[in-house]
Each structure stands twice: as structure tokens, then as C-alpha cells.
Structure 1
Amino acid sequence: MKAAEKFYISEILTITKEKLIKRIVKGKSIPSLYCITLPLGNVGVLEIYEYRELLKDYYRKKDVTVVGCAVSKQDAFVVLRRIVEDIRQQDSMFRIPEFFEEG
């Protein structure tokens, strides 16, 4: 699992962005966390997963790129909305993976 260069974090998360990214990359346990990822398949734009789901063997074998985190599923939708608005403002709807590499 890796974190995107351009990484979004919920305004109500109490952990710092740097510490959160470090724990995600190392696969450490983080309670009550939802992650927004680039799509794991060939369909979709962005996906929301419970972080503990991403720690399972099935996902560990995949190339998962986390682009944002939130404290609940509802909060993840708020972060997702912010991401989509930024993507739209930068006219990047057709190059979403590149949008997150621009840091």
C-alpha cells in the first residue's frame, strides 16, 4: 500500500498527515479510518474502503494507492467531494492518477 503525493485528509482527523501516511505505508493498525483509493480494478474513478479491509491479504497483494482518509464513511464522502471539486477545477477529469502525482 502506498500514499499518493497529493494526499487529502479529513478536517476532523486528529492525527497529523505525515504520521497517518507513515502508518498506512507500514500497514499499522489505525482504528476507525476510511481510505479513498484509486480504483483497484478497471472500473471507477475513486473508491472508499475501511482501512482494516485494506490490511487483508487480498488487498495486500494489490497495488493500492491511498489518496485520502477520513474518520467515518460519511466523512469519507465529504473528503471525496473535496477531491472531485479540486480535480474538476484543475480540468483533470481524464487524468486522475496523474492529478495525485503532482503533489
Structure 2
Amino acid sequence: MLKWHKKYYIGPGIKNISRIRRRLEHGKPVPGIYLITLSENPCNLLEILPALTLIQESAADMCPEIVGIAKGKEDAMDLVTEMIQTIFSETGGFEIKEYWKNR
């Protein structure tokens, strides 16, 4: 089961988020959708994953908490930039995991 943060970011190209989430939860392919997750690697702040990788149940089980969703890779990169800028302006740092814990 996918773990969604209750206040995740949604990219401007996303239409009908409930349908996309339902398809993802049921392991259905959703082409062109990218998920932004908290990184498990301490050298990275966030990760961008194509939603198609979650078709495999084992990959979906290992997916970190989802904090954003976008349509297309470019929109995903823009959304990550926006998220990091917001976090930096609100906290003065890059403590991404702490920010999401307290959000």
C-alpha cells in the first residue's frame, strides 16, 4: 500500500487526482505520472519516481512516503524546485524530513 502524506503537493498538469490515486493504489499503470518521495539516501533531499515503476507490488511496498505528484518529468522537476524553495523560505534550511514531519 502506498503511503501518501496528508498535505502532498500536486503539479499543475494533474487532472482528476482521485482517479489517478485510485489507479495507483490498485496497481494499474498511469503513464506520464511522476511521484515525488522523501529520499532514503541521506545525500538526496527528494526522489522523483515514474509511477509506472509501482506496477510491481514489491516496488510499491518499498516506496517511501509520497509528498508530491506531477504529470511529466519536467513538471515533476519544477514541482521539486518549488517545494525546496518553499521549505527553505519557511525554515531557513534544507531539513526536508523534519519539515514533512511537522507539516
2:6 is equivalent to residue 8 of structure 1 = no
Aligned to 1:77: 77
Aligned residues: 102
Q: What is the root-mean-square deviation in Å for CA atoms of aligned residues?
A: 2.4
Instruction: Report the CA distance shift for 1:25/1:41 in structure 2 as closer, same or farther (over 3 A).
Output: farther
| Equivalent-residue separation in structure 2 for 1:25 and 1:99 (angstroms) | 25
Q: 1:90 to 1:74 in 2, by over 3 A?
A: same
Cα pair 1:3 1:24 within 8 Å, conserved:
no
Matches within 5 A, 1:49-60: 49-60=49-60
Q: Which has the higher contact order (CA 8 A, sep 6+)?
A: 1
Q: Which runs of 5 or more residues in structure 1 are unaligned?
A: none
Q: Which runs of 5+ in 2 are unaligned?
A: none
Q: 1:14 to 1:58 in 2, by over 3 A?
A: same
> Normalising by structure 1, what TM-score?
0.78
The DSSP-based 3-state class of the residue aligned with 1:100 is helix
Cα drift, residue 26 of structure 1: 4.4
Instruction: Report the Cα offset of residue 38 of structure 1.
Output: 0.6
| Identity value in percent | 25
- The structure with the greater share of residues assigned to helix is 2
**Do the aligned residues in 2 keep the contact of 1:10 with 1:76 (CA within 8 Å)?**
yes
